């Protein structure tokens, strides 16, 4: 059993198209009970039975943590991705029975903060839906800056503005509106914490500027679900289980290990939580580390790999699994 | 530098220049030397955005050396009590990007940190360096009175007069070490008093 990923049996209670790219899914427990409590920023891993393969994708819970009758997630369709979001859009309908993990929070609010400054890009808005609901419920001080491509792709922008008024600022790429980041960051009162979720480029930009402008790293929180990158197939030997497996072009190393009947731990499947860390016993070739967990030194040492996002090119790779 | 003994016992580092727009130094006594040593590693123009608050003590040592760093502001209050309102004011009006450096005696670092925590600064993002005396600020756990500049073990509570064992147990909220009665069972038992927090 994977650590921290106890399963929940749910039924899809509703499927709601939100705009041309995004669809919202509602889940209830099959036994009619309340779902486990969660805090804003938590995600669940959704299991998708797609023919003979199982896809496992993490999605942020976007409902209010104050209401656990149902969980809601929003999925942005990615036509050139590996197929998980397409499966959700095409094959998941109300009434379908599914399995999801317990919620895990790798992007929680620091409730000691005097103020919460949130920056969202595109579908990165979803964790903030829950976080703003949580803060609004407890009188917390927050401000949300949300960048979207066009007004029609501003998922939930209307709803957020309706709920929180001037605490929400929108920026539209097609109107050339851009966050004046340096000014925004420099005008925040002492004790502010910063949260950013969106494309990798945005996260890096915000983290860099915050560091330069003197924000201590403890006050900067970010979340990015890196989808596993495709690459050339490679072979791996799993020393503990005595198996040799092939990792396909579109498959992650973690997925290949799971497909071989081994059940390694994971939480985020996005290279940030550290849960899937695996020791390398020997290798002849080169690693393609795509994670944000291991240090540069770990990467250079060739002793460790994060199989949820990282790959390998070369003659042989033996892992302690 | 004080040794790490139990978990609540504060551990201090060596000041190093942080990225940021404004730098606020609060120092007393030999803490001035920590700032001067750090200045050697600071990038050009670092002190243009720096304010130094320095409690020099009666002899007025190190003031000239701090002036020579040409900070944007140098403020010389006579005591911690007199700098407190100004420090609170500065932190209340400050923005993210202000970095805090505390150096000198443990009592000063602890009390300034107490104000900073209230202002919302996380203690891990404050640069600290201990210099000079190891004298402790101690709270008597019985009468709750605070005794400053405790250098002996055991020590007398200046409020209730109990003889206290000065523990390494430190309260960040009070910026004080805890003192617990050392002879509660038999008051006639008086262990020798040694000067150990010099
Ligand atoms: S599962 Fe989180 S880093 Fe791999």
Reported ipTM: 0.82
pLDDT higher than 80, residue A282? yes
- B→A contacts (Cβ < 8 Å), by residue, are 18-22, 91-92, 94-99, 119-122, 124-125
Task: Tell me whether residues B125 and A185 touch, CB distance under 8 A.
Answer: no
The mean per-residue pLDDT over the stretch B13-31 comes to 95
Tokens in use for B126? 């404050």
pLDDT higher than 90, residue B65? yes
Angle between helices A126-137 and A157-164 (to 10 degrees): 10
| Block residue for tokens 């939930």 | A156
Identify the DSSP state of B72: S
- Spacing, Cα A74 to ligand 1 middle (Å): 21
pLDDT higher than 80, residue A2? no
pLDDT higher than 90, residue A203? yes
- What pLDDT does A14 receive? 98
pLDDT higher than 90, residue A118? yes
- Spacing, Cα A119 to ligand 1 middle (Å): 24
Please state the pTM of the whole predicted model. 0.88
Residue B82 distance to chain A (closest CA, Å) = 23
Predicted confidence band at B122 (pLDDT cuts at 50, 70, 90)?
confident
The mean per-residue pLDDT over the stretch B56-84 comes to 94
Lowest mean pLDDT among A69-73, A148-152, A297-301, B3-7: B3-7
The mean per-residue pLDDT over the stretch B92-104 comes to 96
The mean per-residue pLDDT over the stretch A32-61 comes to 94
Produce one character per residue of B97-136: b if its CB has 16 or more CB atoms within 10 Å, e if not. Answer: bbbbbbbbbbbbbbbbbbbbbebbbbeebbbbbbbbbebb
pLDDT in tens, A119-131: 999 999 999 999 9
How far is the C-alpha of A108 from the C-alpha of A41, rounded, in Å?
Answer: 5
Cβ neighbours of B120 in A, within 8 Å: 112-114, 189-192
Q: Which residues sit opposite A156 in a β-bridge?
A: none
The average confidence (pLDDT) of chain B is 92
The mean per-residue pLDDT over the stretch A144-165 comes to 96
3-state helix/strand/coil string of chain A: CCCCCCEEEEEEEEEEECCCCEEEEEEEECCCCCCCCCCCCEEEEEEEEECCEEEEEEEECCCCCCCCCCEEEEEECCCCCCCHHHHHHHHCCCCCEEEEECCEECCCCCCCCCEEEEEEEHHHHHHHHHHHHHHHHCCCCEEEEEEECCHHHCCCHHHHHHHHHHHEEEEEHHHCCCCCHHHHHHCCECCEEEEEECCHHHHHHHHHHHHHCCCCHHHEEEECCCCCCCCCCEEEEECCCCEEEEECCCCCHHHHHHHCCCCCCCCCCCCCCCCCCEEEEEEEEEEECCCCCCCHHHHHHCCEECCCCCEEEEEEEEECC
Cis geometry, peptide bond prior to residue B154 (ω within 30 degrees of 0): yes
- Is B22:B49 a contact under the CB 8 Å cutoff? yes
pLDDT higher than 70, residue B3? no
Lowest mean pLDDT among A97-111, A203-217, B184-198: B184-198
Which of A112, A114, A214 lies closest to B97 in CB terms? Answer: A214
Lowest mean pLDDT among A25-34, A90-99, A223-232, B92-101: A223-232
The mean per-residue pLDDT over the stretch A14-30 comes to 97
Predicted confidence band at B5 (pLDDT cuts at 50, 70, 90)?
low
C-alpha torsion angle, residues A283, A287, A290, A291 (rounded to 10): 40
- Is A44:A58 a contact under the CB 8 Å cutoff? yes
- Spacing, Cα B148 to ligand 1 middle (Å): 50
Q: How many CA atoms lie within 13 A of A149 on its CB side?
A: 8
- What pLDDT does A113 receive? 93
- What pLDDT does B7 receive? 77
| Any atom of ligand 1 within 6 Å of the Cβ of A269 | yes
Contacts of B137 (CB under 8 A, 6+ apart): B106, B107, B110, B111, B146, B147, B148, B149, B150, B175, B176, B177
- What pLDDT does B11 receive? 87
Predicted confidence band at B141 (pLDDT cuts at 50, 70, 90)?
very high
Whose CA is closest to A84, among A116, A45, A133?
Answer: A45
| Any atom of ligand 1 within 6 Å of the Cβ of A225 | no
The mean per-residue pLDDT over the stretch A210-234 comes to 91
- Is B88:B112 a contact under the CB 8 Å cutoff? no
pLDDT higher than 90, residue B4? no
The mean per-residue pLDDT over the stretch A204-212 comes to 96
- What pLDDT does B10 receive? 84
How far is the C-alpha of B165 from the C-alpha of B1, rounded, in Å?
Answer: 22
Predicted confidence band at B59 (pLDDT cuts at 50, 70, 90)?
confident
How far is the C-alpha of A104 from the C-alpha of A317, rounded, in Å?
Answer: 31
Cβ neighbours of B101 in A, within 8 Å: none
pLDDT higher than 80, residue A1? no
The mean per-residue pLDDT over the stretch B81-93 comes to 94
The average confidence (pLDDT) of chain A is 94
How far is the C-alpha of A119 from the C-alpha of A197, rounded, in Å?
Answer: 7
What whole-number percentage of chain B has pLDDT above 70?
97
Name the H helices within B68-128. Answer: 80-93, 106-118
- What pLDDT does A5 receive? 52
The mean per-residue pLDDT over the stretch A174-179 comes to 96
Cβ neighbours of B87 in A, within 8 Å: none
């Amino acid at each position: 059993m994977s650590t921290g990923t106890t399963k929940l049996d749910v039924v899809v209670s509703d499927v709601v198209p939100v705009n041309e790219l995004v669809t919202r899914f509602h889940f209830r427990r099959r036994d009619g009970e309340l779902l486990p409590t969660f805090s804003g920023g938590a995600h669940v891993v959704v299991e998708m039975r797609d023919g003979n393969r199982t896809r496992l994708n993490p999605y942020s819970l976007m409902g209010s943590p104050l209401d656990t009758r149902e969980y809601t997630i929003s999925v942005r369709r990615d036509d050139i991705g590996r197929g998980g979001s397409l499966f959700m859009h095409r094959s998941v309908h109300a009434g379908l029975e599914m399995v999801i993990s317990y919620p895990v929070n790798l992007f929680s609010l620091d409730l000691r903060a005097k103020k919460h400054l949130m920056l969202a890009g595109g579908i990165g808005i979803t964790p903030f839906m829950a976080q703003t609901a949580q803060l609004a419920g407890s009188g917390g001080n927050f401000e949300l800056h949300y960048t979207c491509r066009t007004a029609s792709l501003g998922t939930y922008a209307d709803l957020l503005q309706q709920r929180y008024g001037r605490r929400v600022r929108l920026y539209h790429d097609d109107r050339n509106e851009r966050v004046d980041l340096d000014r925004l960051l420099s005008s925040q009162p002492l004790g502010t914490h910063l949260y950013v979720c969106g494309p990798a480029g945005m996260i890096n930009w915000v983290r860099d500027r915050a560091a330069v402008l003197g924000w201590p790293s403890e006050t900067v929180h970010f979340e990015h679900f890196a989808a596993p990158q495709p690459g050339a197939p490679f072979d791996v030997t799993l020393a503990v289980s005595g198996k040799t497996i092939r990792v396909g072009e579109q498959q992650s190393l973690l997925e290949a290990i799971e497909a071989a009947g081994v059940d390694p731990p994971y939480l985020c499947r996005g290279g940030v939580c550290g849960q899937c860390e695996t020791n390398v016993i020997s290798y002849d070739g080169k690693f393609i580390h795509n994670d944000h967990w291991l240090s540069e030194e770990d990467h250079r040492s060739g002793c460790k790999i994060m199989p949820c996002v990282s790959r390998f090119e070369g003659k042989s790779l033996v892992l302690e699994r | 530098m004080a040794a790490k003994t139990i978990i609540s016992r504060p551990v201090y580092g060596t000041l190093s220049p942080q990225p940021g727009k404004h730098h606020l130094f609060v120092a007393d006594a030999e803490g001035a030397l920590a700032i001067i040593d750090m200045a050697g590693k600071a990038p050009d123009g670092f002190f243009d955005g720096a304010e130094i608050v320095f409690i020099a003590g009666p002899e007025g040592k190190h003031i000239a050396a701090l002036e020579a760093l040409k900070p944007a502001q140098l403020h010389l209050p006579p005591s911690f009590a007199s700098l407190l309102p100004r420090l609170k004011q500065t932190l209340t009006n400050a923005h993210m990007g202000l970095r805090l450096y505390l150096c000198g005696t443990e009592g000063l670092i602890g009390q300034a940190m107490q104000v900073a925590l209230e202002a919302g600064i996380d203690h891990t993002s404050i640069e600290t360096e201990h210099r000079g005396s190891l004298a402790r600020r101690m709270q008597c756990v019985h009468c709750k009175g605070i005794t400053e500049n405790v250098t002996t073990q055991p020590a007398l509570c200046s409020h209730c007069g109990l003889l206290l064992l000065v523990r390494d147990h430190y309260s960040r909220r009070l910026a004080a070490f805890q003192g617990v009665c050392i002879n509660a069972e038999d008051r006639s038992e008086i262990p020798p008093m040694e000067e150990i927090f010099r």
